[in-house]
């Protein structure tokens, strides 16, 4: 019943935005829909309700507010952990990423260019926008754990092998002092180190295996020919 109604009302297209995770979306939407009824919200109680109740709950599937609620719940579970979201056109940032990739022998850290569409869900879970990340890069460590600026850099260091992880001990330095140095360099990075018109990783495809947005870079590279 739910699927049929969603097909009629265009809901299927919206569900595809969740990567085809129909079972998870359905359970979340039904839970939210159950809030409009005084009956229990278990699957068995839903199936035993009168047809009018089921139709009313199913109709709510296409409500944008409920779809947004489902997206918020699903998004963190669909994202990869330990992702650095950085300014992909900045030469200093790109060289820093290359250094981490070389040092990270166990491939614990992943990357995503801020300029790509794939960066959006990581920005959403961290509650920041692109302007915030242009000022201070973002490290999404896991659900509910994300850092920016100097704290992000030191958390990344903590995942690298010896001797690099020892740098994370600099976390004891007061954050205002750490961030003051970080912000000063970040403010002048284009002037001192240069800026590209596109994400620099496109020019170094051997690095793409570590990028969550690698498909976008491949498509961009092919479209340039």
The helix or strand, by DSSP H or E, that contains position 192, with its residue range, turns out to be helix 175-193
Question: Mean pLDDT of all residues in the chain?
Answer: 74
Q: Is residue 186 pLDDT above 70, yes or no?
A: yes
- What pLDDT is attached to residue 124? 93
Rg of the chain over Cα atoms, rounded to whole angstroms, equals 22
Cross-sheet strand order for the sheet of 145-148: 110-113, 83-86, 138-142, 145-148
**How far is the C-alpha of 181 from the C-alpha of 185, rounded, in Å?**
6
The string of pLDDT tens digits covering residues 25-60 is 445 445 544 443 444 444 444 344 444 443 444 444
Q: Where are the domains of the chain?
A: 2-77, 80-223
Average pLDDT over residues 138-166: 94
* Structural contact between residues 199 and 217, judged by C-beta atoms closer than 8 angstroms: yes
pLDDT class of 69 with cuts at 50, 70, 90: very low
- Model pLDDT for residues 81-113, shown as the tens digit of each residue: 999 999 999 999 999 999 999 999 999 999 999
Instruction: Look at residue 223 in the predicted model and tell me its pLDDT.
Output: 60
Question: Among candidates 157, 118, 130, 117, which has minimal Cα distance to 141?
Answer: 157
Percent of the chain clearing pLDDT 70 (strictly above)? 63
């Amino acid at each position: 019943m739910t699927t049929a109604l969603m097909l009629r009302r265009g809901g299927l297209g919206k569900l595809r935005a969740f990567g085809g995770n129909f079972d998870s979306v359905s359970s979340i939407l039904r839970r939210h829909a159950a809030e409009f009824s005084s009956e229990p919200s278990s699957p068995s109680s839903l199936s035993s309700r009168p047809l009018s109740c089921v139709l009313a709950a199913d109709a709510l599937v296409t409500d944008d507010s409920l779809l947004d609620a489902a997206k918020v719940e699903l998004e963190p579970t669909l994202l990869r952990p330990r992702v650095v979201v950085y300014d992909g056109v900045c030469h200093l940032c790109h060289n820093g990423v290359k250094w981490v990739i070389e040092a990270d022998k166990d491939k614990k850290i992943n990357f995503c260019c801020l300029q790509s569409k794939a960066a959006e869900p990581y920005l959403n879970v961290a509650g920041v926008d692109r302007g915030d990340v242009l000022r201070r890069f973002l490290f999404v460590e896991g659900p509910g754990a994300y850092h920016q600026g100097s704290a992000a850099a030191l958390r990344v260091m903590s995942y690298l092998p010896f001797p690099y992880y020892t740098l994370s001990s600099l976390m004891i330095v007061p954050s205002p002092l750490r961030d003051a140095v970080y912000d000063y360099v970040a403010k002048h990075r284009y002037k001192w180190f240069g800026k590209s018109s596109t994400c620099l990783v496109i020019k170094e495809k051997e690095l793409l295996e570590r990028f969550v947005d690698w498909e976008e870079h491949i498509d961009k590279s092919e479209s340039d020919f």
